[in-house]
Amino acid sequence: MNSIIFLIQCSDQKGLVAGITGFFAERDYNILHCQQYTNVQDSAYFMRIKLEDDANLERDVIEQQFTSFAKELGLTWSVRYSDQPYRVALLVTRASHCPYDLLLRELEGELRCEIPLIIGNHNDLASMAKQFDKPFYHLPITKQTKLQQESQIKALLTEYNIDLVVMARYMQILSEQFVTEYAGRVINIHHGFLPAFQGAKPYHQAYDRGVKIIGATSHYATADLDEGPIIEQDVERVMHDNNPEDLVMIGKDIERLVLARAVKAHIEHRIIISGRRTIVFSEGV
């Protein structure tokens, strides 16, 4: 069964649930699920509403009508159709654990998306791409060629009609121009529990501080390094006798899981960005 998912946010006001659900009911749409959240502190309202896509109206018609309705209530919204799977590009460097995990989840149907290409600034993972029958583009980068290399990346993203870019341990800092152009469409995995241990070698930083848990964080990429809205995090307990190499190995499993959860939430249209925060609605609906 195909579905339509609307994500809606606005200032909190009376009658929102009745008004929005009534709009769809009047057009004979079956509401499969509705989740909502009110941020009382900021007087902000958020909704995810899932409808049965039984073609009562053409898609451009329902969007035009909802645009007019949304203007009256001051709604900001987006819509996604389940029969249009996200097209996801992977940016990689040398580490294989995160991209390999995502490719395997796509292959097994756990991630309902299409990964049509892999882009690497090193050639190390070309064999991994070949294993999954994916085209691999080797685009080396230096300080002098950074903007040129990013221009090549953007050309490929356009050519392959990419909806989401995943930095699957892509150990490069994207330019402000790039992340601004693709705002809300670039997900990064940081091998540390943000906001602690930002930047390089977070596991070594954690070891130096003698922490008892380590973690990983998936967030949207912004111009400020490791400061983007956080989507997903997880942790694992460690011991005093774990050395930095142990922490790296333990951390790899956390990174795989955290990144997969974040990508899944995005492609299921469950995330609303609100300033520096994210609203992530429940999985499985």
**pLDDT tens digits, one per residue of 220-248:** 999 887 789 999 999 999 889 888 888 88
How many Å apart are CA 17 and CA 13, to the nearest integer? 10
How many Å apart are CA 120 and CA 136, to the nearest integer? 7
- Strands 164-167 and 186-190, sheet pairing: parallel
| Nearest of 111, 265, 101, 112 to residue 168 by alpha carbon | 101
My answer on whether 36 and 173 are in the same domain is no
Residue showing tokens 């930047």: 199
Q: Is the pTM of this model over 0.95?
A: no
My answer on whether 50 and 189 are in the same domain is no
The answer to whether residue 105 is domain-embedded is yes
My answer on whether 10 and 151 are in the same domain is no
Residue 2, by phi and psi: left (phi above 0), alpha (psi -120 to 50) or beta?
beta
Query: Which residue in 124, 208, 226, 234 is the catalytic one?
Result: 226
Dump pLDDT digits (tens) for 74-124.
999 999 999 999 999 999 999 999 999 999 999 999 999 999 999 999 999
My answer on whether 119 and 133 are in the same domain is yes
Domain ranges, residue 122: 86-280
My answer on whether 135 and 273 are in the same domain is yes
My answer on whether 199 and 138 are in the same domain is yes
| DSSP code, position 13 | -
The CATH number of the domain holding residue 48 is 3.30.70.260
Count of structural domains, the chain = 2
Q: Is 226 a catalytic residue?
A: yes
How many Å apart are CA 281 and CA 120, to the nearest integer? 32
The answer to whether residue 265 is domain-embedded is yes
pLDDT of residue 234: 94
How many Å apart are CA 100 and CA 132, to the nearest integer? 9
The answer to whether residue 201 is domain-embedded is yes
pLDDT over 90 (residue 199): no
My answer on whether 154 and 24 are in the same domain is no
The answer to whether residue 285 is domain-embedded is no
